[in-house]
Amino acid sequence: MLSRYTEEEYSHYGIFLVPVDLGESWGKAMAAVTAETVPRPGNADMSWITNYCLKFNHDDYIAHRERTGDMVVLAQEVTADGSIAFQLSKKI
């Protein structure tokens, strides 16, 4: 369940997907961001990011985990709808 950071009656709370450039060797990913904005006079709105996490497709998730050469992915399972992946990895 989503909860507000402030008790402002007119705040706007939501979840946003934001494209993130991770640099030339890492490529692009999406960040899921939860944020709340409180409208203020004169376009001086105040916003808080309350949580964020990077979202990768399954192949990119494995590739990023193994990119440094310090980790190897041993197994991966996904939820029935494919929206969440769990990895078993090992530091080498």
> Over the stretch 7-25, which tens digit does the pLDDT of each residue have?
656 778 888 889 999 888 7
Same domain, yes or no, for 1 and 35? yes
The 10s digit of each residue's pLDDT in 48-73 is 888 888 887 778 878 877 887 888 88
Same domain, yes or no, for 47 and 66? no
Counting the structural domains of the chain, the total is 2
pTM: 0.55
Domain that holds residue 12: 1-55
Distance between CA atoms of 52 and 13, rounded to whole angstroms? Answer: 14
Same domain, yes or no, for 50 and 64? no
The three-class DSSP label of residue 63 is helix
Residue 54's alpha-carbon distances to 3, 34, 35, 66, 73, in angstroms, are 21, 12, 15, 16, 18
Residue with tokens 């001086």: 44
